[in-house]
Amino acid sequence: MDKKLPLKIIFLNVGHGDGIIILLPDEDKYKSAIIVDCYDGRKAYKILENYNIKNIEAMIITHFHLDHYRGFDILFEKIKKNRIKMKNIYYMPDKTFRENDEKKKYKMFLNKLYILGINNDFVINSSCIDGKNESKSIIKNEEIEIKIIYPRLIDITSECNVNNYSAVLQLIYKNNKILLPGDLEAKGWFKLYEFTKENKLTLTVDILKMPHHGAFYEENEEKTLGTNEILQFIKPNYAIISSAQNKKYNHPDIKTIKKLLDKKIKILCTNSTDICGKEGPCFDDIVIDIENSINIEKYDKKIKTLRCLQKDFK
Ligand SMILES: [Zn+2]
Ligand SMILES: [Zn+2]
């Protein structure tokens, strides 16, 4: 009898931010994890504790905006205290010339990270793809492959928007594909699209974590990819939106929701906002199990009760 557990991906409800945990199956237990962004260190640690995870294969900071890395400080502390082994950290060095508060925080964070790395023996890697390589491998065996497919050194320009340098991760498990693009915006998507076209690669996936918390990108600017074009390029069946009510950003954008509904892409949000009537967290933490197919905990049951999807968005 095959007792092996499914691969589990958890999109934590962290409000306006990202926190993704991938639990790797090992026969009848989950022993190791990969963490992609961490806005809420306590919540992320709780998952590791619940599944008794003692080994972290990799942590990836897609880019240095606080809603993607603020929680790592707390998570590191808890990991150290509880003697969880950490192997690798991937991050994209911030080469932008922004000299603001965020850059100061980034520098302080990196100092701490390197001291922690020296004392605890884990490897700190750049997530930037070197030379002409197509991708940077995080993990690869017969069943699973997780790789960084963007950015390359050549993609780094004078662009000051760090969202456009978000590490983009592709996960392939038993023919199921997931794309985690951080907060990649229209200019970054265009570069990724051009690269895949030139190299005759396909990037269609089953699940797309919507970039930048469901923001909408228009399509009229040159050398950019709008939301509609991104969805045509990636062709997801499911769209995950990690967001919450936030007066400053208005994410997700109603135009994104409409576009997803038009294309009959199944939407899963970690939290509710004004556009869906604020009836409390939507899916809350989104738990996805992947064996030979994709199974989303309580999806069918939940979807029937969601007022937001029954609302007329036209
Ligand atoms: Zn963000
Ligand atoms: Zn960002």
pLDDT tens by residue, 228-261: 999 999 999 999 999 988 777 778 998 999 999 9
Q: Which ligand is nearest to the CA of 162?
A: 2
Residues 177, 16: Cα–Cα separation, whole Å: 25
Residue 283: what pLDDT? 87
Which pTM does this prediction carry?
A: 0.94
Residue 251: what pLDDT? 87
Are the C-beta atoms of 231 and 260 separated by less than 8 Å?
yes
Q: How far is CA 294 from CA 11, 205, 284, 289, in A?
A: 15, 12, 18, 6
**One-letter amino acid identity for 299?**
Y
How far is ligand 2, taken at its centre, from the CA of residue 292, in Å? 33
Q: Which ligand is nearest to the CA of 213?
A: 1
What is the average pLDDT across 10-33?
A: 94
Residues 276, 274: Cα–Cα separation, whole Å: 5
Residues 261, 249: Cα–Cα separation, whole Å: 21
How far is ligand 1, taken at its centre, from the CA of residue 68, in Å? 6
How far is ligand 1, taken at its centre, from the CA of residue 4, in Å? 34
**Looking at the predicted structure, is the pLDDT value of residue 314 above 60?**
no
Q: Which ligand is nearest to the CA of 249?
A: 1
**Looking at the predicted structure, is the pLDDT value of residue 157 above 70?**
yes
How far is ligand 1, taken at its centre, from the CA of residue 183, in Å? 5
How far is ligand 2, taken at its centre, from the CA of residue 26, in Å? 33
**Looking at the predicted structure, is the pLDDT value of residue 307 above 70?**
no
Q: Which ligand is nearest to the CA of 163?
A: 2
User: What are the percentages of helix, strand and coil residues in the chain, rounded to 5?
Assistant: 30, 25, 40
How far is ligand 1, taken at its centre, from the CA of residue 28, in Å? 35
How far is ligand 2, taken at its centre, from the CA of residue 91, in Å? 14
Domain boundaries, the chain: 7-310
How far is ligand 1, taken at its centre, from the CA of residue 1, in Å? 43
Residue 278: what pLDDT? 62
3-state secondary structure of 22: strand
What pLDDT band is residue 19 in, cutting at 50, 70 and 90?
very high
- When comparing pLDDT for 277 and 111, which is higher? 111
How far is ligand 1, taken at its centre, from the CA of residue 242, in Å? 9
**Looking at the predicted structure, is the pLDDT value of residue 188 above 90?**
yes
**Looking at the predicted structure, is the pLDDT value of residue 93 above 90?**
no
**One-letter amino acid identity for 242?**
S
Block residue for tokens 């619940």: 50
Q: What is the assigned CATH class of domain 7-310?
A: alpha beta
Residue 288: what pLDDT? 95
Report the Cα 201 to chain-centroid distance in Å: 21
Report the Cα 269 to chain-centroid distance in Å: 13
Q: Which ligand is nearest to the CA of 161?
A: 2
**One-letter amino acid identity for 145?**
E
How far is ligand 2, taken at its centre, from the CA of residue 305, in Å? 31
